[in-house]
Amino acid sequence: MSGNMTAPVRGGRKTNWKDVVFSPRYGGLATLLLVLLATPLFIEGLYQFDIAILVLINATVVIALNLLVGYAGQVSLGHAAFFGLGGYATAVLTTRYDWPSLLALAAGVVLVAAIAAVMARPILRLKGYYLAMATLGLGMIIYLIITQETWLTGGPDGMSVGALEVFGYTVFDELVWYWILAGLLLVMYWLAVNIVESPVGRALRALHGSEIAADNSGVNVTHYKTLVFVLSAGVAALMGGLYAFYSGFIAPNTAGFMHSIELVVMVVLGGMASLVGSIVGAALLTILPQYLVVFSEYEWLVYGLILMLMMIFMPRGFVPTLHGLIRRVLG
């Protein structure tokens, strides 16, 4: 399933223009850059920028998650907890202990990465649904701690967060936020392309295929799985922290089960093992509910129906399906 679309431009074969255009490294990155640069020209106001910013945050998280789910084949149903924990760590450290913004952000990432590193070994030993269950369990424990420790986190009602301050400059303006997060998305995308096309990446894809085969070929399976798990958790924590700063408020449902499911759906809907797909999936699922509000009470009914139909008719995900279609047309 991770086959043709993400195939790197191989050295041995003669590369034609189509390979370059459709390669994630060149075509993908260039398109992403263009879209990110152009978007501010077409949107305006608090709300439209808010949606754009949420798309950027989700896309960055989903790319990292896709490395774990799409490439390494390890489903995580607790990823929102890493996002939420990153957010809460930043929120608590800056508002209750007066830490500087960046230090708090870093502390959140380190905390989550450490938890992920410690838990990686026992959790990643599990397979399939058992793995999903273990990540769900870990996520729920984090979520429950966040809701219970009211003195620290404000409990179920959430807590306010101060603005992001970087070297004496307070980031308030939506446009500034947009550029910061767009930059981060580009970096994440670049990083992911490099990981995917590196020997590590090939090892990861081997994992998704068959673990035993990967093991036999001398790939250190456990090591790479752990690495990707920690990376994706850390990225989620970073984005969670930035989200807390940006929105000025954080509530437990950002760490909840439904949010975890939503992140996985973004991965699958966009296309497993497709980095561009992750961005499209994140954008689709962030923007879609905003349009569905016209259905009023029928909103969730329609949302569920769209989810079902998309998976039935595009099981490989939005981008790989589209990609396959275009390739076929171009011959």
Partner 1 sequence: MLKKLLPVVALSAALIGIPGQGVADDDPIRIGSFLSVSGPASYLGDPQRKTLELFIERINENGGVLGRELEWQYYDDAGAANEARTFARRLIAQDRSDIVIGGTTTGATMAAAELFQRQQVPFISLAGAVVVVEPVKEWVFKTPETDRMAARQVFADMQQRGISKIGLISGTGGFGASGREQAHKVADEFGIEIVMDETYSPDDSDMTAQLTRIRGNDEVEAIFNFDFGQAPAIVTRNYADLGIELPLYQSHGVASEGYLDLAGSAAEGVRLPVSPILVAELLPDSDPQKAPAMEYLEAYRAEYGEKPSAFGGYSYDALMLAVDAIERAGSTDPQAVRDALEATSDFQGVTGTFNMGPDDHMGLDIESSFRMVEIKDGTWSLLDQ
Partner 2 sequence: MAEFLQFLVTGITIGCTFALVALGFCLVYNASHVINFAQGDFVMVGGMSAVFIMSSGVPMWLALVLAVLIGGALGALLYKGGIQPAKNADAIQLIIITVGAALFIRGVAHVIWGTGYFSMPGFTGDTPIRFLGVVMVPQSLWVIGVTVGIVTALALFFTRTRLGKAVLATSYNRDAAKLMGIDTGMILVLSFGLAGLLGAVAGVIMTPITFTNYEIGVMLGLKGFVASVLGGLGSFVGAVAGGLILGLTEAMMAGYISSDYKDAVAFVLILLILFFMPSGLFGQRGVERV
What is the nearest approach in angstroms of partner 2 to the Cβ of residue 225?
Answer: 15
Cα–Cα dist 111/252, whole Å: 18
- In this complex, which beta carbon is closest to partner 2, that of residue 55 or of residue 272? 272
- In this complex, which beta carbon is closest to partner 2, that of residue 94 or of residue 147? 147
Q: Is 148 in the site for partner 1 (CB under 8 A)?
A: yes
What is the nearest approach in angstroms of partner 1 to the Cβ of residue 98?
Answer: 19
Nearest Cα neighbor of 316 from 95, 70, 81 is 70
C-alpha dihedral sign at 298, 58, 34, 166: positive
- Segment interacting with partner 1 (CB under 8 A) among 70-78, 123-131, 251-259, 319-327: 251-259
Binding-site ranges for partner 2 (CB under 8 A): 1, 69, 75, 122, 125-130, 132-134, 136-138, 140-141, 144-145, 148, 257-258, 261, 264-265, 268-269, 272, 297-308, 311-312, 315
- Tokens found for residue 232: 């994706």
Interface residue with partner 1, options 254, 274, 278, 321 (CB under 8 A): 254
Q: Is 31 in the site for partner 1 (CB under 8 A)?
A: no
CB atoms within 10 A of CB 129: 11
H helices of 248-298, where? 257-270, 275-292
What is the nearest approach in angstroms of partner 1 to the Cβ of residue 19?
Answer: 23
- In this complex, which beta carbon is closest to partner 1, that of residue 148 or of residue 198? 148
Classify residue 288 by burial, with Cβ atoms within 10 Å: 0-12, 13-18, 19+: middle
CB atoms within 10 A of CB 19: 16
- In this complex, which beta carbon is closest to partner 2, that of residue 64 or of residue 106? 64
The contact pattern for partner 1, residues 265-304, with x = CB under 8 A and - = no contact, is: -------------------------x--x--xx-xx----
- Tokens found for residue 274: 């497709």
- Segment interacting with partner 1 (CB under 8 A) among 116-124, 156-164, 268-276, 315-323: 156-164
Name the binder of 3 from partner 2, partner 1, none, CB < 5-8 A by kind: none
Cα–Cα dist 137/130, whole Å: 10
Name the binder of 50 from partner 2, partner 1, none, CB < 5-8 A by kind: partner 1
Angle at 120 between CA 73 and CA 156, to 5 degrees: 95
Q: Is 307 in the site for partner 1 (CB under 8 A)?
A: no
The contact pattern for partner 1, residues 158-177, with x = CB under 8 A and - = no contact, is: x-x-----------------
Q: Is 253 in the site for partner 1 (CB under 8 A)?
A: yes
Name the binder of 140 from partner 1, partner 2, none, CB < 5-8 A by kind: partner 2
Encoded amino acid at 329, one letter: V
Angle at 120 between CA 117 and CA 126, to 5 degrees: 180
Name the binder of 265 from partner 1, partner 2, none, CB < 5-8 A by kind: partner 2
CB atoms within 10 A of CB 326: 12
Interface residue with partner 1, options 248, 304, 315, 324 (CB under 8 A): 248
Report the run of H or E that residue 319 belongs to, with start and end: helix 318-330
Cα–Cα dist 180/157, whole Å: 28
Q: Which 3 state secondary structure label does DSSP give 176?
A: helix
CB distance 88 to 146 below 8 Å: yes
First CA to last CA across the chain, in angstroms?
Answer: 20
Instruction: List contacts with partner 1 (CB under 8 A).
Output: 42-48, 50-51, 54, 147-148, 150, 155-158, 160, 247-249, 251, 253-254, 290, 293, 296-297, 299-300
